[in-house]
Amino acid sequence: MELSRRGDYAVRAMLDVATRPADRMTVTKEIALRQDIPPIFLTKIVSSLSQAGLLRTYRGVAGGVALGKPADQISLLQIIEAVEGPIYINRCLIRRGECDRDRACPAHELWVQAQGELLGLLANKSLADLARRAQELQQAPMADFAA
């Protein structure tokens, strides 16, 4: 019941790109360094994010990565599912007939609800939201003492 590192890394990497000056390219090795992510592993994650259209990548000497679309059009759900595949809170949600073969299952209904809420939350949170919040936290770093 836990996000994999791929997902965690992906979110942090995307946030890293989103909070950099948009006019300059970001290089994965630097992201890895800043975010403390194994560099070669990150290239795989970046590749998934690129295939999902969330990053645009450029090869060559002046290459690197940039956001594939505006940050407010990228949801956290998209990021996570890009690197982990579709989220299922329980096996019985993967395909119909996995748990409720014959009779209806009350647990199944619960998983549907829980999954709906979780996915809703992640789908409604954009990378832009996170980036904005990051800026707030940076400008008032003492804020977390009040929390």
Residues that bind its own copies (CB under 8 A): 1-5, 7-8, 11-12, 15, 76, 80, 84, 87-92, 100, 103-107, 109-111, 113-114, 117-118, 121-122, 125, 130-131, 133-134, 137-138, 141, 143-144
Our finding on whether 120 is near DNA (CB under 7 A) is: no
**Backbone φ, ψ for residue 99 (5° rounding):** -120, -35
DSSP letter at 147 equals -
C-alpha of 44 from chain center: 14
DSSP letter at 101 equals S
Measured from the CB atom, the residue of 8 and 129 that comes closer to DNA is: 8
Contact letters for DNA, residues 56-75 (x by CB under 7 A) = -xxxxxxxxx----------
Torsion of Cα atoms, 68 then 74 then 138 then 21, to 10°: 20
Kindly state the smallest distance separating residue 108's Cβ from DNA, in Å.
17
Spatial distance between the Cα atoms of 52 and 79, rounded to a whole number of angstroms? 8
Where does this chain bind DNA (CB under 7 A)?
4-6, 9, 27-29, 38-41, 43-44, 46-47, 50-51, 57-65
